[in-house]
Structure 1
């Protein structure tokens, strides 16, 4: 018998980070709206993991890593984005793209 656990994450992608593009994932507890089931907020519980683009080569090496590449890497690693990207300028001056997501963890007992 396989039991899946769904872990919700807040995705924080910084494509212009000093050390190169990085996706930080934080375990979260999303709040849904009353009528439509849309995520309206979240409680950030803890850091989950970071994903980098090491070893990921675009078809054309001159092509910069963009938000489409973030979606591709998330999918490759088993994550599903649940809503649209929100873009803002962080305190560091870097652009931060964020969204809610989830991953299913398979119980291998």
Structure 2
């Protein structure tokens, strides 16, 4: 049996430091209409790093896919208070039940 794990992704494409940091999370849906209601981020899961100097979101998607992750929905671009650009997305992976 395979269990699906919901993940929250925070990606950075900084010069010399491109990676997707994945966090396990609990996803909540509205009990009445099934729409997405929110999530709680539980803990760091893994980082998928890129070695390429010309890293972009497409390359990051490919690296995540190669590592067994599936991005769910689009990337959301945000800028931190310090001016750093980060990209956020939801993802899933499957793990074998013990």
Distance change in 2, residues 1:66/1:39 (3 Å) = farther
Gaps of 5+ in 1: none
Higher strand share: 2
- Runs of 4+ deviating beyond 6 Å: none
Distance between the aligned counterparts of 2:36 and 2:82, measured in 1? Answer: 27
Look at both structures and tell me which one has the larger radius of gyration over its CA atoms: 1
Gaps of 5+ in 2: none
Aligned residues: 97
- TM-score normalized by structure 1? 0.77
Kindly state the Cα deviation for residue 16 of structure 1 after the two structures are TM-superposed: 1.4
Root mean square deviation, CA, Å: 2.0
Partner of 2:93: 103
1:44 to 38, 41, 44: 41
